[in-house]
Amino acid sequence: MNPIVVVHGGGAGPISKDRKERMHKGIVRAATVGYGILREGGSAVDAVEGAVVALEDDPEFNADTSLLSH
């Protein structure tokens, strides 16, 4: 089986070329995290959670996880 990882990184509105590059790196990082979890035998839910956490931890995606600690 060859798992497929799909990550949606937002992108509403105009995005500068520099920011687009940073966002692409963040999406690749999130997909890599999710794929790594699947490759190690993790569940699809764990892979999605890992990818989402990677996006939430990336300031380019405006997840504002600082609100979670209050």
Q: Is residue 69 part of a domain?
A: no
Query: pLDDT tens across 31-56, in order?
Result: 999 999 999 999 999 998 998 889 88
Whole-model pTM over 0.75: no
Q: What integer pLDDT is reported at residue 66 of this predicted model?
A: 54
Structure tokens at 16: 């500068």
Q: Is residue 53 part of a domain?
A: yes
Q: Is residue 12 part of a domain?
A: no
Q: What integer pLDDT is reported at residue 32 of this predicted model?
A: 93
Q: Is residue 30 part of a domain?
A: yes
Q: Are 37 and 46 in contact (CB under 8 A)?
A: yes
Alpha carbon distance 38, 7 (integer Å): 14
- The domain of 49 spans 18-57
Q: Is residue 66 part of a domain?
A: no
Q: What is the tally of structural domains in the chain?
A: 1
Q: Is residue 67 part of a domain?
A: no
Alpha carbon distance 58, 56 (integer Å): 5
